[in-house]
């Protein structure tokens, strides 16, 4: 309480979030004071307003009226479309979560001791918050009762910490958030899968109710409304109407200016040729940038759930371009964006007609007897399955090495995506694909992944687009994220059921052509990359998969997440990675023996590849071999929009 003893003149001044401009001089009668005759008679003389005040008030009134009218129109249009059956509404019974929520909360309330303890802690927090807030108003500063997580970007505005009112709102929300999440996290006697689902749903609810998401409790929105005289709200509703129209009545949240880039010009611009094409993929051979290349070519299999150019973004962060600069002969599979005609394509089709066909064509183009391979995410799960199939067939020699980026082969610890594969949701996915002609549209998958990081990928854009009325900026990663692909029904359902739901690859329960896929028999050298903050392929899950292989495995952990952990050009000097040549029983033991290295992991991987890529040979130009160019990279399949 030492601060309270300071003379008032020496106290640290408080910063104010929403500053008012000095009032303009006014003319006319002052408001009546208590005891005046006018007050006694009920009369009130308002101060006169100058023309500028009248114009500003009129401007704001008109903007708010327009916002109200647009809001009413949006609601009526959406309701009409829903009633007319023009909006594809999900089967709410299929995704009803009431039983799980009811089971968990009945367990919570049935333990009065824990409930009282949690409520007492919450009450103590509120009393401390009230005391500290009062102290701050009096003394100008005080220690917060609760702080947000260091990586929580919702509170970046200085107003949330500098202004005592908004700071109190923030801390009050955080106390409630911790109260609810703590109750669910501490519940006992509930199936772990149900508990995980309710934790996820509770977090979604708590995130949605954050004061940052409401105009009257977000200082940035209040300031923008005052400064623009309400234009931010009318612009925001125009943005909302645009996104509803784009989604046909279903909100299609805009994250990036989709006119800001052009694939093949700004993105996916590394020089090369499409040298082979069939109904499910195009094969790109990239032009060399060195006089010599390694004899053994490198074939990259990206996930078919996204466009491949995450690996070939702008020149300064393109992995493909960097690999050619290191002297590798680079080939890449560009998957088709499938329509209903491919609804019956299977996981094995993508291995046989996709990966195996691509390997054979690369060998034709280069004269090499085998190739090094890369599998990213789902492409890595496919590559692992293909290795096991080749081993069972006695044909493992065509793949010299396998690198996996953020790829899972054991799905026991697959993270929050496991929440979307229970029986009810699996049935709903099947229904949606049937309604969409045998494919899953890209928007459904995008919405699912966005929910895993809702504060960053949903609510931040709701605030920016609809409350602040801003236009989304051109951002390459978000542009790519919005450029989604469809998926064939048979392939996607099989993958969800056999990998996520039943974990059959890790259990040696998958058969193809009468052969059992057994990763323990795979002796091919493996480089396994994982990312510390990956929410799609958590690093403990990737480590479990690394332990399944029967040959030499190099496991490496990168900083950041599912995308930035992989696409981290050495020139950026960002993040870090951890290395450990051993592969102990648990990932915790691996971490204990790991060494942290600053910057990108690409050079570590490059040196590992050099050892498995043969001698230097004269660089091969696309079309020099048996495969002739069909068109320029990035090809035609990647340009098809969902």
| DSSP letters spanning 42-82 | T---PPP--HHHHHHHHHHHHHHHHHHHHHHHHHHHHHHHH
- Residue 132, pLDDT score: 87
Is cis: bond before 634, omega within 30 of 0? Answer: yes
Just list the catalytic residues. Answer: 377
Residue 498: which residues within 8 A CB-CB, separation 6 or more?
347, 504, 505, 510
Q: Which long-range contacts (CB under 8 A, 24 or more apart) does 197-203 make?
A: 197/97, 197/100, 197/419, 197/422, 198/97, 198/100, 198/101, 198/104, 200/416, 200/419, 201/97, 201/100, 201/101
Cβ atoms 453, 481 nearer than 8 A: no
- Residue 431, pLDDT score: 92
Cβ atoms 286, 639 nearer than 8 A: no
The whole-angstrom separation of Cα 556 and Cα 566 is 11
Query: Nearest 5°: phi and psi at 526?
Result: -125, 135
User: In which element (H, E) is residue 440 found?
Assistant: strand 439-440
Fold exhibited by the domain 272-420+484-639:
Rossmann fold (3.40.50)
The whole-angstrom separation of Cα 309 and Cα 458 is 23
- The pLDDT averaged over each successive group of 10 residues in the chain (642 residues) is 39 39 38 37 42 50 46 44 40 50 85 89 90 84 89 92 90 93 90 87 90 93 92 92 83 89 96 98 98 98 96 95 98 97 97 98 96 98 98 96 98 88 87 92 81 88 94 92 93 96 97 97 98 95 98 97 96 96 97 97 98 96 94 98 86
- Residue 287, pLDDT score: 98
Tokens 């009318």 correspond to what residue? Answer: 234
User: In the numeric block, which tokens belong to residue 221?
Assistant: 């929105």
The whole-angstrom separation of Cα 524 and Cα 553 is 9
Which among 239, 151, 163 is positioned nearest to 535, based on CA atoms? 151
Rg (CA), the chain: 29
- Residue 397, pLDDT score: 95
- Residue 97, pLDDT score: 52
- Domain ranges, ordered by start, for the chain: 58-82+95-246, 272-420+484-639
Which among 174, 201, 175 is positioned nearest to 103, based on CA atoms? 201
Classify the phi-psi angles of 607: left when phi > 0, otherwise alpha if psi is within -120 to 50, otherwise beta: alpha
Query: What's the DSSP call for residue 521?
Result: G
Q: Residue 470, exposed/middle/buried by CB under 10 A (0-12, 13-18, 19+)?
A: middle
- Residue 52, pLDDT score: 56
Query: Nearest 5°: phi and psi at 251?
Result: -65, 120
Tokens 């645009």 correspond to what residue? Answer: 242
The whole-angstrom separation of Cα 52 and Cα 62 is 15
Calculate the alpha carbon distances from 410 to 346, 381, 498, 524, 546 in Å: 20, 9, 11, 18, 9
């Amino acid at each position: 309480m030492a601060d309270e003893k300071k003379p008032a003149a020496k106290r640290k001044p408080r910063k104010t979030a929403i500053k008012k401009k000095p009032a303009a001089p006014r003319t006319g009668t002052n408001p009546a004071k208590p005891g005046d005759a006018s007050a006694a008679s009920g009369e009130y003389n308002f101060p006169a307003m100058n023309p500028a005040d009248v114009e500003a008030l009129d401007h704001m009134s008109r903007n708010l009226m327009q916002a109200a009218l647009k809001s009413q129109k949006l609601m009526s249009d959406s309701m009409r479309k829903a009633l007319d059956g023009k909006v594809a509404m999900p089967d709410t019974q299929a995704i009803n979560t009431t039983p799980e929520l009811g089971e968990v909360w009945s367990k919570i309330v049935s333990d009065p001791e824990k409930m009282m303890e949690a409520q007492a802690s919450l009450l103590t927090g509120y009393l401390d918050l009230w005391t500290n807030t009062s102290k701050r108003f009096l003394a100008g500063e005080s220690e917060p009762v609760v702080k947000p997580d260091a990586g929580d970007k919702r509170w970046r505005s200085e107003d949330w910490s500098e202004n005592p009112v908004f700071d109190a709102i923030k801390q009050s929300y955080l106390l409630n958030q911790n109260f609810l999440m703590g109750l669910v996290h501490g519940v006992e006697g509930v199936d772990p899968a149900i508990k995980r689902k309710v934790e996820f749903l509770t977090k979604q609810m708590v995130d949605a109710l954050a004061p940052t998401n409401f105009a009257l409790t977000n200082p940035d929105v209040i300031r923008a409304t005052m400064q623009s005289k309400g234009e931010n709200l009318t612009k925001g509703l125009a943005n909302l109407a645009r996104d509803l129209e784009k989604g046909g009545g279903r909100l299609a949240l805009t994250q990036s200016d989709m006119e800001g880039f052009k694939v093949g010009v700004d993105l996916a611009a590394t020089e090369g040729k499409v040298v082979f094409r069939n109904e499910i993929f195009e094969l790109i051979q990239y032009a060399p940038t060195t006089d010599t290349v390694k004899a053994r070519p490198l074939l990259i299999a990206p996930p078919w759930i996204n466009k491949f150019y995450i690996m070939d973004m702008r020149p300064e962060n393109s992995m493909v371009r960097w690999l050619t600069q290191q002297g590798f002969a680079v080939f890449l599979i560009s998957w088709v964006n499938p329509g209903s005609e491919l609804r019956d394509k299977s996981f094995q089709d993508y291995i046989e007609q996709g990966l195996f066909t691509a390997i054979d064509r690369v060998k034709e183009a280069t004269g090499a007897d085998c190739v090094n391979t890369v599998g990213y995410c789902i492409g890595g799960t496919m590559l692992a399955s293909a290795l096991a199939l080749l081993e069972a067939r006695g044909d493992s020699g065509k793949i010299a090495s396998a690198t996996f980026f953020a790829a899972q082969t054991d799905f026991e610890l697959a993270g929050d995506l496991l929440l979307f594969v229970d029986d009810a949701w699996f049935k709903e996915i099947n229904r949606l694909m049937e309604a969409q002609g045998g494919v899953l549209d890209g928007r459904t998958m995008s919405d699912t992944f966005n929910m895993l990081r809702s504060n960053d990928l949903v609510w931040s854009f709701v605030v920016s687009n609809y409350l602040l009325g801003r236009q989304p900026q051109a951002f390459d990663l978000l542009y790519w994220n919005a450029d989604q692909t469809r998926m064939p029904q048979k392939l996607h359902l099989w993958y969800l059921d056999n990998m996520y739901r039943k974990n059959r690859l890790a259990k040696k329960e998958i058969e193809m052509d009468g052969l059992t896929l057994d990763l323990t028999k795979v002796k091919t050298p493996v480089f396994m990359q994982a990312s510390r903050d990956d929410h799609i392929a958590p690093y403990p899950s990737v480590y479990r998969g690394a332990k399944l292989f029967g040959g030499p495995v190099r496991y490496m952990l990168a900083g950041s997440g599912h995308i930035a952990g992989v696409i981290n050009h050495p020139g950026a000097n960002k993040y870090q990675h951890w290395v450990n040549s051993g592969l102990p029983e648990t990932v915790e033991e691996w971490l204990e023996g790991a060494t942290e290295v600053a910057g990108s992991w690409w050079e570590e991987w490059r040196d590992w590849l050099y050892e498995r890529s043969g001698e230097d040979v004269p660089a091969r130009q696309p079309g020099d071999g048996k495969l002739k160019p069909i068109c320029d990279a990035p090809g035609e399949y990647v340009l098809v929009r969902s």
